[in-house]
Structure 1
Amino acid sequence: MPDRALLAMLEGAQSDNTAAIASVDSMRHSLAEYDRKLNSYRAALEAGADPQLIATWTQQVQREREVAAAQIAAMEASTDARPALSRKEIHELVKSFGGLVKILRAADSTDKLEVYRQLGLKMTYNHKTRVVVAEVQPPPPVCTVVVSGGDLNTVSRPPA
């Protein structure tokens, strides 16, 4: 069981991500505004407005909406856009590592290396204080977005 000082240290080591979360929230409001515009354009079209004019407006808003959605996805994939863990969440996470530590101790060194690589493990030793600082930064999930010729519909594919 981790002690209170360790939990406090882990909680304090998290970056302040309130600005990133606010930015994601702002972008979500933009998505809602784009959706509102598209719905109003549809209503105008159904009411007899010029289809060519509505099509031009719709294409522009759809492009802007796609950009905003991609920005949100990128922000959410970054560690700065994730909410900070509570002390209770950190405690549960640390407790769950107990079984993982046992498994890693018994694992082949090649398997350990792969686990550490995927975690983005970086260890820094301070010879004066004789302390090792371990940091993990798993790479964010990445996907490829493909847009065909004039079609604004996108297809997301997982990385190869």
Structure 2
Amino acid sequence: MGAGCGGWWPTRSPHAWCGGIYSEFLKGRGYLDIAEDLTLQGILSPSASDPERNKHRDQRAWSKYAVRVILTNPRYTGHQVWNKQRKDEILLDVENVALGTTTKQRWNTKDQWIWSEHPVHDAIVSVEEYQRVQEILATRARGQFSQRPHPTRRPYAFRGVLFCGYCERRMQGNWNNHQAYYRCRFPAQYAIVNELDHPKVVYLRELEILDEVDGWLGTEFGPDRLEHTIAAMAEQVVDPNEAVLIDLRKRLSKCDRKLIQYRSALDAGGDPIEIVGWINETKSERARLEGELKAAPAAQRISVAEIRSMIEEVGDVVRLVGEADPDDKADLYTQLGLKLTYYPEKQYVEARINPEPPHVRAVCVRGGT
């Protein structure tokens, strides 16, 4: 733990700990040091504070990434910032333009951001503090780039698709004894706070499951099992567009409830400056959600025939897996939507397939090796 552990969170309010993150970072503390301290103090992470909007994120502890996001978010200065992202139309498959395009959001460089002339809500940190943090981050990035030569790239076949059964986080590639391993490191502070019986490090050697996984894929998508696989997926079809629309409508309703509460507080004699700031922020959020709702594609049902057609296309990819090198395997596994979960105490790996467009949308086949 860092030297300031336990003594720099005066309250558990978001305003206190966000300001504390900036001040402690400026004292020289790192992402992980701050994240561990926040977790140990029992302060909820952003995803745990709003679990409805963060069902896909780990809510047990603060992550380094969450700390970094707060340190790079200009809204904590009280200013509104626009044009941080843009939308690009990308072909789904450059080899088959008939499949159409998908919209991808890309980050603009900071010189393209547009800042409001005046603050629109209460500031948690000053603009000067925010700029000092950005300068430190930029200096660190340049220093790492110039001082550390890129190591020889190691191929990991299960890059990004292997998860730890204890904490459900992605396992990281680790090259050891000329072999690919995967590991999950879980700081003791996280385990204590969450009452989670997680070993300090979980290891899995790639070769222990590689042939089994390829064999399972070949069996499930092979001619003898293809119809069974299609039937299983047909029973579990969930159109992600429908889930997105439902989530957006729920969040819009939540904004409406907040606006009613804020106006009631204003009528009751609350601080108008503070409440108007809340109202403006919620209105801005509601406008953004309305834009996403209008841009979201309509929900569609997928027929068994469509699943069969798309699965047969996926099957062509599966036949290539066994012969591919590790880098190509990683791309193929991602394209298939493969997800592996390792349960060390059972010596068991659960395999699931969740293919994405242009193949099959949010359907799964469950199995194990």
Give the alignment's TM-score, normalised by structure 2. 0.20
Give the alignment's TM-score, normalised by structure 1. 0.40
Q: Which has the higher helix share?
A: 1
